[in-house]
Amino acid sequence: MSLLRVDASIRTGGSVSREVADSVETAWRALRPGSVTRRDLGRDPLPAAAWADAVSVGQTPEAERTPEQREAVALAAALADELLAADAVVVAAPLYNFGVPHHLKAWIDLLITDPRLAPGTAPLTGRPLALVIARGGGYGPGTPRAGWDHATPYLLQIFGAVLGADVTLIEAELTLAAVNPAMAALVDEAARGRDRAHALASETGRALAERTAELAA
């Protein structure tokens, strides 16, 4: 039984998405010790040119491929191996500039160049995936920025509809309330939201571990 943990925050200290993913991981480890693989895209981003090289292979005869194209295909295959080997997955992502972190988008784009993960194959069907989102502001219904979070719908679509995983969404928002004086009135609401996110993360970590054991039985 293995859990693949993917982090995308460019912060290591003080990262809310990492802390909430820690709660998923801790609950998982309590039932499945020693079975977590890390892919830290925030700390170790993938090479920026790899995706274009991997895509261009489709129009390049085998004998004419450049070393860069071959490396990109091998990297995509290694990432796909890592994802496909996981019984469960946790992806932790901040909202950056109203969208998905580009390090995470680069991982997804590269993965999808591998034929095993091409759209239409839904290779993660039935596999549980916890999606942790951290947002500095608030995007709930009726708020001025409702609908401005373009990361969460995209990630739900990719991991759920395209890759076929069974996604549990764990959201922590207003994370900038503690440091932005303009958001001072929202500090308590932010703290309550973070507590709820950690509680759901712990519950989800346990559920992922139990679910993978059932699937293996």
Ligand X SMILES: Cc1cc2nc3c(=O)[nH]c(=O)nc-3n(C[C@H](O)[C@H](O)[C@H](O)COP(=O)(O)O)c2cc1C
Q: Which residues bind ligand X (CB under 6 A)?
A: 9, 11, 15-18, 94-98, 134-137, 175-176
Cβ proximity to ligand X: between 136 and 164 the closer is 136
The DSSP call for residue 10 is S
Number of helices followed by number of strands (H, E) in the chain: 6, 5
Residue closer to ligand X (CB basis): 79 or 133: 133
C-alpha pair distances (Å), 76 with each of 72, 81, 127, 188: 6, 9, 20, 43
Q: Is 3 helix (H, G, I), strand (E, B) or coil?
A: strand
CB of 135 to ligand X, least distance (A): 4
Q: Which is nearer to ligand X, 13 or 120 (CB)?
A: 13
21-51 per-residue burial string, b: 16 or more CB within 10 A, e: under 16:
bbbbbebbeeebeebbeebbbbeebbeeebb
In the complex with ligand X, which residue's Cβ is closer, 155 or 209? 155
Pairwise CA distance, residues 205 & 191, whole Å: 21
The alpha carbon dihedral of 94, 98, 99, 101 has a sign of negative
Give the shortest CB-129-to-ligand X separation in angstroms.
Answer: 18
Give 175 or 204: the residue with its C-beta nearer to ligand X: 175
- Kindly tell me which of 165 and 177 has the beta carbon lying closer to ligand X: 177
Rounded CA separation 176/178 (Å): 5
From start to end of the chain, where are the E strands? 3-7, 36-40, 88-94, 128-134, 166-172
Smallest distance, Å, CB 101 to ligand X? 9
Smallest gap, in angstroms, from Cβ of residue 112 to ligand X? 24
To ligand X, the closest distance from the beta carbon of 52 in angstroms equals 24
CA 181 to chain centre: 30
CA nearest to 51, candidates 105, 121, 91, 122:
105
Residue 43 CB, shortest distance to ligand X, in Å, is 12
